[in-house]
């Protein structure tokens, strides 16, 4: 025996034994365990021992604080020894014996442990009535299994359609989740793209961007027009969806009506079989009772003979005293005889009527008992199905936990990728800062250009002076003596030249520093490439993990298939259980026979006791008991009839509410189908957006590579500008030398020619550097073009974002419609719960359990659809991994291009080094020519040539300056566009927040659905209570049977008494004769007095008997009323039997039982089609074209349903002859019938017929004949 240990405090524990199969727990004193605690409700929970599984189960009876098993809130759960149960805030522990413990692989690990409450009130007290506590019994588990079996036997094709609709609902919910996830990913990508674009726009040309912006504005307008057109199309499709939903609702109503009809047919067949068994048992009981009555009559006759003998002895002495009283006695006897005759006649009539009523009442009772047995079997089946569903739910939870873990891991990886992106963005910021520094250097370079212009003007002036000096040289050739003085001045010039050489060394050191900076940049580039390789490895890991997820999902699908197989094996087990139950019923019949034998023995013992008592006292007591029992039975029968009438009214109201609910559900399913199509389109569009985003990321990576190349080239330009500045310094020094030594230039012409050749070589090198600069400029132009394409892509993205906004608005509308539908569903469910509280019979509760079973099957379908959706998500993830691999390939190509550009930079550095080597050679040659003044003249010529080159370079710099101004204007335009994009992003964020609100509302709706499930389970508890009431009714019916048996005994005893009275009358006549003879002999007054007293007692007894007979007459009137009501019930049952006979006929005509169900379905659909046609005729008279069109569409949809089930119309044409083959298909309403020789013509078809072809299996069956008016053939 199990025990519950309530923990009042850490030290104090109160034990309670679980006596019996069911124990109820709560604050109400009628519970088997009463708990005085504020957190415990009046009827909180109940613990049921399941004999088939050998374990206990907890049922929460809809308590607000709930019950927890191992700190997990539960509505129903199996218990094991050591489980911690919490009722509200009060904890208890279950301890079972070893004989009742069963271990079935249940997870006992507690989740989210909460600390025990410190302040707990005193726990429990024993109930007020421990001997017979009022229990709320749970449903026996076997009946639920039978419910499921009967449901599975009913209409197989329509159930598939219902499952399809449920699958569509599951798909829609999962697609909504996927869309939300994809929207979140798209928003993240758009945010990152917007940040990168803001950085890229800083280095773009604003003028070109303006032109592109104009183009994109035009494209946006075109896209807005397209979006408006799409919205219109969506509105039209929504109207179509509503129409389709109405059609589906009507079809589902037909399917449900067919299912209910089939279930009723099965139930009535079972009732007929059970009635036959009970009638046979009742006949056996009647035979036993008749044998007992015969025995009692014989014993009473023997006692009466003894009493008569004693009376004869006493009469001999008392005859003299009776002479005066004989006349009075005769008068009294005559009156008594008259009364007895009248009462005997009344008793006979009442007894005959009473027997008829008892027979009919027994029939009703037998039917009730059969209904109760079927109800118990159905509840057992339902409990077994619920256990299977709970197993499936546990598997569902495990899959959900695994999916959540995998999602968390993916989120972590995504966060890592986002952090890597942030690092890249920081690097890009640093590059942008470097670009700003370069712009500042360019401004400085502009200042140097102005200085160069001034130097050029000074050079022109000096050339004019040189010309005049040439003239002076011709005159100064004679003055050779002055040359010696000038040598000293030349030495000073050499010293100044040496200074220039030192300056050159310093510039070389600066160039080396630049090289080191280039090396640093290369190292940074290598780090970036390493990071990219890490990202690639991470992407590969993600792909591997996605493959592992696919494998897991495949395993989960296998597990689900195994569970499906387990369900099928459970079905076979149910069949075995049904057979075992039949055997158990046979055993019960044997036990009932044994009990009958025991009752016979008990009756024999009672007979012995009755023989010891006086017969008169027994008759009085039995008559009083009979009157009391009859009154109670009449009251109970009246109450039962009132209940039956009330419950029938409630059944009709509930059926109407269920039909309305089903119509609305069908409409919702049709809407969901159309939303599925819209969702598919959205998915395709999101895939295209993802592809565009991937292209943008590739182009952004190319831009980053090109920006690094631009930065390297800008560093090269800085080096070149430094060299130019050095050369300008040299020019200034040479100018001073020219002013001093203008007279010496004539002698240095020959050496100038030699140096001129060296300068030509240096010019060729400079031309090569210029070509390199031109190539760089061409590359810059190409990058600008790529930036323009990027801007076009950005504008496309903005347009696509606008489309997404429109789609999100549409989704919001759809979610609002869903919410409205869900609110309607909640209202309807509230109505159904209100009606369910009024239910008290088994049929109504069976309907509710059927709805619950449908929901469970829908959840199983949803679970399967969720797995399919997960597989689709995995396929999408694989596609995304393929996209990532393409990105990796593009990154590799970009890295190869970066390497090529690095090689180009190295080649330019080599050219710079060669130029430095040439400059060193020149310096050596200048040292050699320093001894002579001729070298100075050569350098002047070289400087002139360099001036020409510088002029060309200055022109190029001016052109570049113009280009830089254009870039600045474009940058301003880009900033404006950036502000516009930021506004767009803000609007997009607002849309995101609204989407989040919608998702929160969606989660609230799901919570409400869970609450509704809890309410359904509460209705199940109420159903169990109703079962207990039904059981009580069964006990009361048994008592009524006992009362009837007693009444039959009393009636038999009355007959025996009447026979005794007739015998006494004969004896009295004899005594009268004796009194005439013995008048002279009897003289003792005492004997007369004794006889007088005996006669007086008999008269009093007869008076009492007359009063009892009057009460029996009143009871017989009540029995007549009951008979009238039972006849009414009989008429209703006969009507149902007629409908079932019609169904049997249709089933007997069918080729197979499956086609029989189809035929029943077709007949019910045909009836509804006839009703629709009547409605259409009435609406045609009143008007209303829209309503007529909708009704015609419904009519056509029903005909399409029939055609899908291989049922076709049969409408013969006018003026056709009726052949012998078509006689079975046609019914003539008006006109002649015709013969083979003289066939009849068809005037018109009143109603078309319907024929099922059975897919070519046997003959086609006629579901309804075509009604036709005929005329004779001419």
Instruction: Identify the band that residue 160 occupies on the pLDDT scale cut at 50, 70 and 90.
Output: very low
Most confident of 29-38, 300-309, 386-395, 1228-1237: 29-38
| φ, ψ of residue 1245 in degrees (nearest 5) | -100, 120
- The per-residue pLDDT of the chain, averaged, comes to 69
Region label for 32, one of left (φ > 0), alpha (ψ between -120 and 50) or beta (otherwise): alpha
User: Which of the two residues, 832 and 809, has the higher pLDDT score?
Assistant: 809
User: Which of the two residues, 675 and 51, has the higher pLDDT score?
Assistant: 51
Query: How do residues 253-291 score in pLDDT, each as one tens digit?
Result: 767 767 776 777 677 777 767 776 776 676 677 677 667
- The least confident of 75-79, 612-616, 1180-1184 is 612-616
> Is the per-residue pLDDT at 116 higher than 60?
no
Query: How do residues 1197-1209 score in pLDDT, each as one tens digit?
Result: 888 888 888 888 8
pLDDT of residue 642: 72
> Is the per-residue pLDDT at 433 higher than 70?
yes
> Is the per-residue pLDDT at 78 higher than 80?
yes
User: Which of the two residues, 1246 and 482, has the higher pLDDT score?
Assistant: 1246
**Per-residue DSSP letters for 139-161?**
PPHHHHHHHHHHHHHS-HHHHHH
Q: Do you know the residue count of the chain?
A: 1274
> Is the per-residue pLDDT at 792 higher than 50?
yes
Question: What mean pLDDT do residues 114-140 have?
Answer: 38
pTM of the model: 0.22
Rounded to an integer, what distance in angstroms lies between the CA atom of residue 584 and that of residue 591?
A: 10
| φ, ψ of residue 57 in degrees (nearest 5) | -135, 140
pLDDT of residue 109: 36
- The least confident of 132-141, 712-721, 797-806, 825-834 is 132-141
Instruction: Identify the band that residue 1167 occupies on the pLDDT scale cut at 50, 70 and 90.
Output: confident
Token pair for residue 251?
């079809």
Listed in order, strand segments (DSSP E) in 603-704 are none
pLDDT of residue 301: 61
| φ, ψ of residue 1185 in degrees (nearest 5) | -70, -40
On whether the CB atoms of residues 1228 and 1266 are closer than 8 A, the answer is no
> Is the per-residue pLDDT at 119 higher than 50?
no
Alpha carbon 1032 to its chain's center: 40
Question: What mean pLDDT do residues 1259-1274 have?
Answer: 80
CA distances from 539 to 184, 271, 678, 687, 972 (A): 20, 68, 32, 19, 38
Percentage of the residues of the chain whose pLDDT score is greater than 70: 44
Query: How do residues 204-235 score in pLDDT, each as one tens digit?
Result: 566 666 676 777 777 777 877 877 787 787 77
**Per-residue DSSP letters for 1222-1269?**
TTTTEEEEES----SSSPEEEEEEEE-EEEE-GGGSSSPEEEEPEEEE
pLDDT of residue 98: 47
Rounded to an integer, what distance in angstroms lies between the CA atom of residue 26 and that of residue 61?
A: 10
Query: How do residues 534-549 score in pLDDT, each as one tens digit?
Result: 666 666 676 566 566 6
> Is the per-residue pLDDT at 1088 higher than 80?
no
Instruction: Identify the band that residue 1032 occupies on the pLDDT scale cut at 50, 70 and 90.
Output: confident
Rounded to an integer, what distance in angstroms lies between the CA atom of residue 1016 and that of residue 718?
A: 82
- The least confident of 92-96, 110-114, 208-212 is 110-114
β-sheet bridge partners, residue 73: 68
User: Which of the two residues, 117 and 1141, has the higher pLDDT score?
Assistant: 1141
Region label for 1065, one of left (φ > 0), alpha (ψ between -120 and 50) or beta (otherwise): alpha
> Is the per-residue pLDDT at 125 higher than 50?
no
> Is the per-residue pLDDT at 1109 higher than 80?
no
What is the DSSP code (8-state) at residue 743?
G
pLDDT of residue 844: 61
Rounded to an integer, what distance in angstroms lies between the CA atom of residue 1219 and that of residue 1236?
A: 7
Q: Side-chain half-sphere of 690: how many Cα atoms within 13 Å? A: 19
pLDDT of residue 69: 92
Long-range Cβ pairs for the range 713-716 (8 Å, 24+): 713/776, 714/435, 714/438, 715/514, 715/517, 715/518, 716/905, 716/908
The residue among 83, 93, 91 whose CA lies nearest residue 115 is: 91
Rounded to an integer, what distance in angstroms lies between the CA atom of residue 59 and that of residue 1157?
A: 37
């Amino acid at each position: 025996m199990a025990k519950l240990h309530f923990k009042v405090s850490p030290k104090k524990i109160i034990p309670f034994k679980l006596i019996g199969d069911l124990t109820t727990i709560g604050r109400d004193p009628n519970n088997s365990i009463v708990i005085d605690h504020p957190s415990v409700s009046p009827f909180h929970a109940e613990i049921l021992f399941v004999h088939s599984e050998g374990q206990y189960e907890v049922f929460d009876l809809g308590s607000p604080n709930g019950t927890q098993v191992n700190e997990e809130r539960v509505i129903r759960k199996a218990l094991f020894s050591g489980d911690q149960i919490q009722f509200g805030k009060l904890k208890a522990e279950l301890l079972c014996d070893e004989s009742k413990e069963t271990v079935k692989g249940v997870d006992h690990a507690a989740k989210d442990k909460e600390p025990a409450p410190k302040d707990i009130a005193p726990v429990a007290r024993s109930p007020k009535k421990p001997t017979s506590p009022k229990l709320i019994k749970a449903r026996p588990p076997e009946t639920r299994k039978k419910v499921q079996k009967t449901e599975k036997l009913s209409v197989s094709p329509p159930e598939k359609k219902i499952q399809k609709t449920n699958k569509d609902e599951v798909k829609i919910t999962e697609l909504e989740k996927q869309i939300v996830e994809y929207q979140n990913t798209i928003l993240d990508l758009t945010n990152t793209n917007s940040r990168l674009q803001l950085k890229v726009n800083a280095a773009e040309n604003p003028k070109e961007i303006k032109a592109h912006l104009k183009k994109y504005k035009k494209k946006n307008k075109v896209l807005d027009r397209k979006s408006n057109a799409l919205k219109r199309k969506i509105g039209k499709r929504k109207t179509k969806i509503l129409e389709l939903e109405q059609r589906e609702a009507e079809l589902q109503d037909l399917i449900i009506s067919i299912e209910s009809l089939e279930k009723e047919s099965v139930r009535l067949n079972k009732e007929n079989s059970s009635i036959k068994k009970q009638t046979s048992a009742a006949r056996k009981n009647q035979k036993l009772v008749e044998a007992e009555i015969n025995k009692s009559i014989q014993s009473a006759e023997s006692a009466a003979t003894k009493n008569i003998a004693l009376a004869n002895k006493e009469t001999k002495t008392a005859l003299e005293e009776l002479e005066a009283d004989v006349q009075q006695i005769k008068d009294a006897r005559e009156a008594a005889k008259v009364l007895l005759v009248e009462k005997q006649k009344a008793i006979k009539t009442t007894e005959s009527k009473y027997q008829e009523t008892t027979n009919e009442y027994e029939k009703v009772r037998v039917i009730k008992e059969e209904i109760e047995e079927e109800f118990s079997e159905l509840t057992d089946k339902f409990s077994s199905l619920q256990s299977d569903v709970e197993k499936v739910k546990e598997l569902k939870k495990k899959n959900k936990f695994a999916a959540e873990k995998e999602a968390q891991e993916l989120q972590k990886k995504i966060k890592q990728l986002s952090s890597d992106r942030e690092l890249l963005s920081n690097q890009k910021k640093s590059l942008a800062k470097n670009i700003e520094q370069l712009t500042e250097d360019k401004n400085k370079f502009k200042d140097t250009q102005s200085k160069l212009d001034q130097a050029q003007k000074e050079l022109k002036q000096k050339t004019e002076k040189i010309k005049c000096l040439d003239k002076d040289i011709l005159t100064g050739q004679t003055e050779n003596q002055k040359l010696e003085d000038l040598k000293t001045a030349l030495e000073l010039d050499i010293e100044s030249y040496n200074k220039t050489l030192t300056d050159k060394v310093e510039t070389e050191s600066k160039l080396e520093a630049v090289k080191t900076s280039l090396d640093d940049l290369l190292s940074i580039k290598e780090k970036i490439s390493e990071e990219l390789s890490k990202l690639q490895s991470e992407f590969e890991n993600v792909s591997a993990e996605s493959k592992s997820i696919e494998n897991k999902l495949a395993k989960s699908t296998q597990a689900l298939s195994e569970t499906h197989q387990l369900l099928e094996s459970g079905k076979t087990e149910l069949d075995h259980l049904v057979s075992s139950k039949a055997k158990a019923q046979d055993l019960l019949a044997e036990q009932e026979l044994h009990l009958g034998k025991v009752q016979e023995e008990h009756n024999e013992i009672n007979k012995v006791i009755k023989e010891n008592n006086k017969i008169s006292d027994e008759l009085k007591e039995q008559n009083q008991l009979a009157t009391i029992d009859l009154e109670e039975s009449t009251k109970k029968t009246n109450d039962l009839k009132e209940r039956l009438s009330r419950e029938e009214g409630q059944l009709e109201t509930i059926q109407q509410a269920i039909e309305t609910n089903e119509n609305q559900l069908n409409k919702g399913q049709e809407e969901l189908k159309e939303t599925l199509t819209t969702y598919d389109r959205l998915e395709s569009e999101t895939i295209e957006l993802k592809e565009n985003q991937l292209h943008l990321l590739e182009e952004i990576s190319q831009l980053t590579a090109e920006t690094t190349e631009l930065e390297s080239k800008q560093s090269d330009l800085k080096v070149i500008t430094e060299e130019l500045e050095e050369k300008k310094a040299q020019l200034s020094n040479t100018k001073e030398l020219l002013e001093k030594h203008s007279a010496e230039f004539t002698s240095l012409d020959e050496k100038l020619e030699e140096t001129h050749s060296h300068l030509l070589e240096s010019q060729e090198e400079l031309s090569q550097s210029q070509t390199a600069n031109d190539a760089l400029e061409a590359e810059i132009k190409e990058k600008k073009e790529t930036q323009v394409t990027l801007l076009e892509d950005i504008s496309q993205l903005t347009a696509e974002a606008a489309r997404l906004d429109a789609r999100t608005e549409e989704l919001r509308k759809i979610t609002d419609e869903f919410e409205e539908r869900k609110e309607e569903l909640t209202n309807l469910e509230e109505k159904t719960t209100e009606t369910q509280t009024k239910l008290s019979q088994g049929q109504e509760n069976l309907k509710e359990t059927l709805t619950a079973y449908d929901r469970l099957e829908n959840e199983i379908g949803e679970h399967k659809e969720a797995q399919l959706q997960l597989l689709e998500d995995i396929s999408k993830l694989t596609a995304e991994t393929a996209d990532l691999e393409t990105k990796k390939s593009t990154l590799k190509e970009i890295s190869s291009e970066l390497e090529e550009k690095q090689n180009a930079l190295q080649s330019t550095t080599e050219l710079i080094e060669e130029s430095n080597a040439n400059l060193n050679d020149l310096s050596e040659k200048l040292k050699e020519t320093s001894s002579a003044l001729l070298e100075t003249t050569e350098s002047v010529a070289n400087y002139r040539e360099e001036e020409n080159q510088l002029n060309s370079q200055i022109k190029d710099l001016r052109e570049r300056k113009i280009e830089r101004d254009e870039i600045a204007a474009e940058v301003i335009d880009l900033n404006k566009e950036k502000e516009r994009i930021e506004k767009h992003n803000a609007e997009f964020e607002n849309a995101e927040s609204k989407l989040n609100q919608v998702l929160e509302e969606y989660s609230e709706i799901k919570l409400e659905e869970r609450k509704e499930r809890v309410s359904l389970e509460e209705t199940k508890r109420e159903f169990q209570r109703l079962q207990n009431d039904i059981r009580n009714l069964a006990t009361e019916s048994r008592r009524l049977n006992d009362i009837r048996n007693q009444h039959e005994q009393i009636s038999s005893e009355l007959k025996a008494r009447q026979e005794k009275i007739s015998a006494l009358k004969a004896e009295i006549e004899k005594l009268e004769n004796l009194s005439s003879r013995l008048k002279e002999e009897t003289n003792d007054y005492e004997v007369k007095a004794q006889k007088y007293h005996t006669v007086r007692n008999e008269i009093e007894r007869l008076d009492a008997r007359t009063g009892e007979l009057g009460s029996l007459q009143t009871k017989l009137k009540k029995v007549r009323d009951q008979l009238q009501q039972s006849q009414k019930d009989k008429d209703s049952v006969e009507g149902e039997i007629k409908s079932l006979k019609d169904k049997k006929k249709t089933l007997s005509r069918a080729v197979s039982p499956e086609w029989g169900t189809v035929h029943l379905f077709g007949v019910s659909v045909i009836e509804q089609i006839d009703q629709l046609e009547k409605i259409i005729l009435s609406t045609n008279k009143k008007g209303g074209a829209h309503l007529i069109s909708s009704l015609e569409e419904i009519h056509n949809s029903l005909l399409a349903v029939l055609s899908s089930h291989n049922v076709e119309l049969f409408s013969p044409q006018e003026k056709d002859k009726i052949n012998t083959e078509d006689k079975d298909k046609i019914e003539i309403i008006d006109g002649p019938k015709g013969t083979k020789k003289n066939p009849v013509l068809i005037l018109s078809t009143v109603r078309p017929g319907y024929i099922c072809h059975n897919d070519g299996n046997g003959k086609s069956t006629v579901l309804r004949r075509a009604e036709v008016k005929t005329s004779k053939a001419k």
